[in-house]
Chains A and B, each alone.
Chain A
Amino acid sequence: MIPAAFDYHRPGSLEEAVALLARHGDEAKVLAGGMSLLPVLKLRLGSYAHLVDIGRIPGLDYIKEEGGLLKIGAVTRQATLERSELIRTRYPILGDAVPLIADPLVRNRGTVGGNLANGDPANDQPAIMLALGATFVVRGTRGERTIAANQFYQALYTTALAPDEILTEIRLPVPPARSGGAYVKLKRKTGDFAVAAAAVQLTLDGKGAVARAGIGLTNAGPTPLEAMDAAKFLAGKTPDEKAIAEAARLAASESSPGADVRGSVEYKREMARVMVTRALRTAIQRAGGQ
């Protein structure tokens, strides 16, 4: 399969990249790892007259803790995250998720920024960003601004990014003491998108009750979904099996998956409930709770 013709641009800086996007508007698309974009072009599900390759712009590939935040450069490859000691030891929710994304060869090319900015509700990392309360740093012709993850996803493949803006950095608050996170995904085989998947990040207070909970769902509707009712329900509660069951039930009822080859709406809702249950149990355990 051969994509429709386009012009390829390789800007050397973010300023150049943003200027190219501004000049070509809707006809331009940002190319990072290309693991979502190239299949779209090859299958001719979409076409763009201009591709702006940000893959070689220096300074967009890093993972570091700084000023109470974990900062991830948008062009950081999934394989880099997967091999990061910092991620494995301090951010198990991401450590869980990365090996479940696509397959190892795709992870050698695919980037975190691409996974997030594509706006595909089937991608795994958006739900994690919702659970963690992440902030996205974006750059456009008018300069830099930040967008909260829960304000970023507006509709299917539609994000808060303006046509001239590029996602440059992901910022996650460093979790306080007694925090734990987990990502649990049901998929049919390696390389498949989730039937259902749940991201949970929570912090317990001194008495073992939930101080804060964030719950994100993958492939549970037209956008990555934040299960707010479930999170609100958990706040202040001792996270015992009864509370877990009710939170998972609420999260599943907040989901609105579509029926497809991966199953019926009923099946996917039920699996969302099971994934949230499992993610909550692991997250609580990792936070030092029961």
Chain B
Amino acid sequence: MASHQIKLTVNGAAREAEVESRLLLVHLIREVFRLTGTHIGCDTSHCGACTVILDGQPVKSCTVLAVQADGAKIATVEGLEQGGKLHPVQEGFTEKHGLQCGFCTPGMLMTASALLERNQNPSEQEIREAISGNLCRCTGYVNIVKAVQYAAGKMR
């Protein structure tokens, strides 16, 4: 049982893979599916750079086994843009300068998009709480909060 045939949906497309028990979800996404928008930061479930949406919930994919995602629906940053049109959170980060180096951005975008799925009108406090598991070392978060507020406005 050290290797497993798994099936999952990634950004709406059905995918299959044969994975070793110990393969991490983030490595499946980056190295097997070649979706390198999802970043590996601290690799210890602190920084949130590896955040993806697993069955509707943002999770740290460095701390999930690929085999645990068998049958799940995964969304990564590559799936945000639809038909050449940026997702409102992507537009917000562009408009409000929600990034500098950009390393945390894919994780921030996924967490923000998940927040806005369940709360279309978050307060500043709710935004700050939602992104509290995603670390940014550049912006001081002020513009990230503005970017999410911008996206919320766009989505209402």
Identify which of A1, A8, A41, A190 contacts B67 (C-beta below 8 A). A8
Q: Are B63 and A190 in contact (CB under 8 A)?
A: no
Cβ contacts A60-101/B at 8 Å (1 or 0 each): 000000000000000000010000000000000000000100
Chain A residues with CB under 8 Å of B2's CB are: 5-8
Q: Is B65 an interface residue (CB 8 A)?
A: yes
Q: Is the CB of B63 within 8 A of A109?
A: yes
Contact A39 B45 (CB under 8 A): yes
Asked whether any CB of chain B lies closer than 8 Å to the CB of A221, the reply is: no
Contacting B at CB under 8 A, from A1-47, are 1-10, 31, 34-35, 38-39, 41-43
Task: Knowing A79-B57, A105-B133, A190-B133, say if A8 contacts B63 (CB, 8 Å).
Answer: no
A106 pairs with B67, CB closer than 8 A: no
Q: A8, A35, A103, A105: which contacts B65 (Cβ < 8 A)?
A: A8
Question: Is the Cβ of A55 less than 8 Å from the Cβ of B68?
Answer: yes
A–B complex contacts, Cβ < 8 Å, 22 sampled: A1-B43, A5-B21, A6-B2, A6-B22, A7-B2, A7-B21, A8-B21, A8-B65, A35-B63, A39-B44, A39-B45, A39-B63, A41-B22, A42-B44, A42-B63, A43-B44, A79-B57, A103-B48, A104-B58, A105-B111, A105-B134, A108-B57
User: Across the interface, do A38 and B57 meet the contact criterion of CB distance under 8 Å?
Assistant: no
Please report the C-alpha to C-alpha distance between residue A103 and residue B69 in the assembled complex, in whole angstroms: 21
In the complex, A180→B28 CA distance in Å? 47
Question: Are A104 and B133 in touch, CB under 8 angstroms?
Answer: yes
Type the 1/0 row for A246-277, where 1 means its CB is closer than 8 Å to any CB of B.
00000000000000000000000000000000
Looking across the interface, which residue of chain A has its beta carbon closest to that of B53?
A: A108
Contact A3 B57 (CB under 8 A): no
**Cβ of A23 to closest chain B Cβ, rounded Å:** 13
List A contacts of B129 (CB < 8 A): 99, 104
A105 close to B44 (CB less than 8 A): no
**Number of B interface residues in the complex (CB < 8 A):** 30
Contact B57 A106 (CB under 8 A): no
In the assembly, what is the distance between CA of A108 and CA of B52, in Å? 12
Contact A38-B43, Cβ < 8 Å, known A105-B58, A105-B111, A109-B59: no
Question: Contact between B64 and A104 (Cβ–Cβ < 8 Å)?
Answer: no
Check if B60 is an interface residue, CB within 8 A of chain A: yes
Q: How far is the CB of A77 from chain B (nearest CB, A)?
A: 9
Contacting residues, chain A, for B30 (C-beta < 8 A): none
Per-position contact with A for B31-71: 1 when CB-CB < 8 Å, else 0?
A: 00000000000011110100100000111101111011000
Number of interface residues of A (CB under 8 A): 32
- Tell me if B137 counts as interface (CB < 8 A to partner A): no
Given contacts A105-B59, A108-B57, A190-B132, contact A9 B1 (CB under 8 A): yes
Question: Within 8 Å of chain A (Cβ to Cβ): is B4?
Answer: yes
User: Smallest Cβ distance from A97 to chain B, in angstroms?
Assistant: 15
Q: Do residues A191 and B133 form an inter-chain contact, with CB atoms below 8 A? A: yes
Residues of A within 8 A of B21 (CB): 5-8, 51
A residues near B20, Cβ cutoff 8 Å: 5
B44 contacts across to A, CB distance below 8 A? 1, 39, 42-43
Q: How far is the CB of A232 from chain B (nearest CB, A)?
A: 38
Q: Please, how many angstroms separate the alpha-carbon atoms of A4 and B43 in the complex? A: 15
Asked whether A8 lies within 8 Å of B64 as measured between CB atoms, the reply is no
Q: Mark A171-215, 1 if CB is under 8 A from B, else 0.
A: 000000000000000000011000000000000000000000000
Q: Which of A1, A3, A39, A53 contacts B68 (CB 8 A)?
A: A53
Residues of A within 8 A of B58 (CB): 104-105, 108
Contact B1 A7 (CB under 8 A): yes
Assuming the A-B contacts A5-B2, A6-B22, A9-B1, are A103 and B132 also in contact, with contact meaning beta carbons closer than 8 angstroms in the complex? Answer: yes
